[in-house]
Each structure stands twice: as structure tokens, then as C-alpha cells.
Amino acid sequence: MSFDYDLFVIGGGSGGVRAARVAAAEGAKVALAEEDRYGGTCVIRGCVPKKLMVFASEYSAMVGDAQAYGWDITGGAFDWDAFKGKLHAELDRLEGIYRNLLKNSGVTSYDSRATLVDAHTVALADGSQKTAKHILIATGGWPSVPDFPGADLAITSNEMFHLDTLPETILIVGGGYIASEFAGIMNGLGVKTTQFYRGTQILRGFDEEARAVVAEGMVENGVDLQLETNVVSMVKDGDKICVTDTKGREHLFDKVMYATGRHPNADNLGLESLGVARGKKGEILVDQYSQTGVPSIFAIGDVTDRANLTPVAIREGMAFVETVFKGNPTSPDHDLIPTAIFTQPEMGTVGLSEEEAAAQEPVEIYSASFKPMQQSFAGRAQKVLMKLIVSKANRRVLGCHIVAPGAGEMIQLAGIAVKMGATKEDFDRTVAVHPTMSEELVTLKQPSRTT
């Protein structure tokens, strides 16, 4: 049977675009459909604009620091409109790059929603149908807002980049990295920021000591972090939103942002009628080669709810091409993924938390917490944390956790060592780069505790 394409990709985010380009480079005839903007969550409504907002928000503290270092400068007001204009121009530029990458790779693009008709056929929004030997679903994820009275008044991270004006007050609901990052951003931009989280500490699943240092730093910076607190209901009150919380209190906010989870973007694609199985969160179930139960249909990225990170989606796309178009069955490696959380203070992590490691085997904990030279000189009291989790049995470094300015940059390099199986003695044999914060990772001589 002849097909219109060797590969049809549904979704123009980082994973789908990479898979389409690399398959086309192997000589495959490839098409890709995207109903919204090219670049996906990361480029359009996620990591890229979020990181630019983090940068913008961090300048608020720099004026005071510069004055402490002898600079005769004064701070001014933040101009949201000026920043937003540049931000959207940059996103437009990046989307153009993604479109050109596809075009220059010989991939046919359809600016359209695509749904599955059968194991080898997709339907576009105009009613036309295309056939393909292989179909790859890379439709990503989408923010979820729970159902409660007044839920329609909430916005999500998607809308944060499009605010007409910067609110004076905001409530951010959630305790994960997206909620915590936006709490830092809004606070840094001068917005009176409150964060509700129903749990006992933010950043659940990360190392407990590290998340406590992040939370402490956020509160020091001015975020009103209210733990074990959730929203019961919301009603409009003039231009504001009146929020009733689980403790019976009422609060007024200009905006309420929910970041309480994301769900796989796999509804109404026609999966069920083809027998493509989905999990309890709605994720597309795939095997180690990203293949669904229908042999011609594959899925990668957040829609599979494995490790929901942009570089992982790209890795999964590359492994898919290796498997299907190069005849080299390759399973994406989800072990020991370094991660940065752009909270303020910033956190970088790779490997096991202290709690996870201690549940598996006896470990030694090496940690140092101190005030970094640059901020200490300026009179700011933000603590940093450098922490290693070490196996007692084989001395391997099982986890590395950093809370510090530039933690994301540091964890990328520490991640290489942990991925290679470095031991504590390998770290010890490495000469310290002085004076830096990260030198603590190679000068931790005595364990602070053992388990």
C-alpha cells in the first residue's frame, strides 16, 4: 500500500518538530500538523517566556546590590508594556525559526488541527485526509483547573504572558515548580504576591532540605506563602476577586492564577475508537520505544506523561527516529535527568533526594549551607545549599541538590558526573575553583549525617 507520507506528526512543539526534521533528514517524506503556534509549550507559553520573566524580575534586587557595591544609581519603575512588547517579538522570532527549520528540512506543514481516522490516516480541520505509514502524536500537555465555585475566574500560566496590565495583587494556587516560579516572578516585578498550597511544603517530590531552603528564601524575598491552605470558592467583587480559603478567611486579589497540575493534551483525537490505550490521567500509554498498542502509531513528550521536560521530549523524538527510520531500536533514557527550577532562590537537582535514597540503602549526607559572598557583601541574607547524597556501599554520588544563584547552570555539569557514576572520592580528587559557590561540592569532607 502506498501512503501520502512516511511519517505524519501531530503537534509542532519541541519533540514533534525535532522528530519530523530528523526523520526528513533520513530521507523520509514527512508532514506535520499544528493547530496553534509552532514551538509548543516550551517556546510559546512555557520555559522560554518564563525564563525571560525570571530575568526581568531579578533586576529589582540588583539596584540595592549595586548601591551596596558603591554604585550611585537609583531604581525606577518596571514597565510591563515595554517588556511585554519585546517578549512577544522574541516569541514571534522563535516561532519563525521553528517554521523555517521544518521548511528547510523538507517537512510539509499544515496549520490545522489533525485527528486520527484509522491506523494510517489523519483528518485535517478542512475535512481533507492524509495517509502515512507512521503517525507520531506529540500534542503535549495543558494546564488543569479543578472544578469549584468560581473556577472560571482563575487564569493559568498560559495567560500570564498576555496580561493587559500587571496586577497590584495576585494569588497563586499550587506548590509545584510552575506555581513557585511564578510566585518569584510576580514578587520580583513588584506585585504583592500570595501563594496557597494545600500541602505542608512546596515542591513535593524534591529533596526536603532543598525545598525548605527554597521556601525560606521565597518568604524572605516577600512572597506571602500560606501552606496547608486551599481555595474553597471565588466570586467577582467589582474589579477584584474575593477568595474564600479552607480556613474560612476571605481575601481580595486582582488576579488568581492556578498551577495545580497539567493534563495530557490527548482528548478528541480519535484515539479511543482505534484502540489506543490511555492511562488514568489521560496520558497515551506507550512502550519503551514510544509505540502505542496500534503498531503504526507512536507518541512522545508530555502527552505520554513520562518525564515532562522539553529536552526529554526531544530525546524521545530522536529515539523514535532511531527506532523507526534507522532500524536501530532505541529506548529514551529517563534515568538521572538533571533539572532546574527557576524559583527565587533557584534550585538544581539530579538523582535521588535524601528521602528516596535513604529508603533504598544506607547513605551519607554531605551538605553545606552558607551565605554567598556576592549577596553577603551587599547585606542580603539569602542562604545557599550544596548537598550530595552518597551510597555507603559503593561511594557513588546518588543525588546532588543545589539551591543558589545559577543553580541550573551548575547542575548541568554536576549531572554529567552523577550520570557517569562518580564517587564521593572522585569529587574529592577534583581541585576546587576558588572563590566560587560550587567549590563546596568538592570540599565537603565530613558527612553532616548518615542514615
312 touches 330 (CB < 8 A): no
Position of cell 510552575? 178
Give the per-residue pLDDT at 289.
Answer: 98
For residue 340, the cross-strand partners are: 348
**What is the secondary structure of 249-261 as a DSSP string?**
-EEEESEEEE-S-
H helices of 137-290, in order, are 157-160, 177-188, 208-221, 271-274
- The model scores a pTM over 0.85: yes
Nine-digit cell at 196? 496557597
A 10 A CB-CB count for 25 gives: 14
Same CATH fold, 339-450 and 5-142+263-325?
A: no
What are phi and psi for residue 166, nearest 5 degrees? -80, 125
Give the per-residue pLDDT at 382.
Answer: 86
Q: Architecture of domain 5-142+263-325 in CATH?
A: 3-Layer(bba) Sandwich (3.50)
Domain 151-260 fold:
FAD/NAD(P)-binding domain (3.50.50)
Catalytic center residues: 434
d(CA 406, CA 119): 46
**What is the secondary structure of 345-368 as a DSSP string?**
S-EEEEE--HHHHHHHS-EEEEEE
- Which CATH number applies to 339-450? 3.30.390.30
Chain-centre distance for alpha carbon 99: 23
**Could you list the pLDDT tens digit for every one of the 451 residues in the chain?**
799 999 999 999 999 999 999 999 999 999 999 999 999 999 999 999 999 999 999 999 999 999 999 999 998 999 999 999 999 999 999 999 999 999 999 999 999 999 999 999 999 999 999 999 999 999 999 999 999 999 999 999 999 999 999 999 999 999 999 999 999 999 999 999 999 999 999 999 999 999 999 999 999 999 999 999 999 999 999 999 999 999 999 999 999 999 999 999 999 999 999 999 999 999 999 999 999 999 999 999 999 999 999 999 999 999 999 999 999 999 999 999 999 999 999 999 999 999 999 999 999 999 999 999 998 999 887 899 999 999 999 999 999 999 999 999 999 999 999 999 999 999 999 999 999 999 999 999 999 999 8
DSSP helix/strand/coil, 203: coil
d(CA 116, CA 275): 11
Domain range list for the chain: 5-142+263-325, 151-260, 339-450
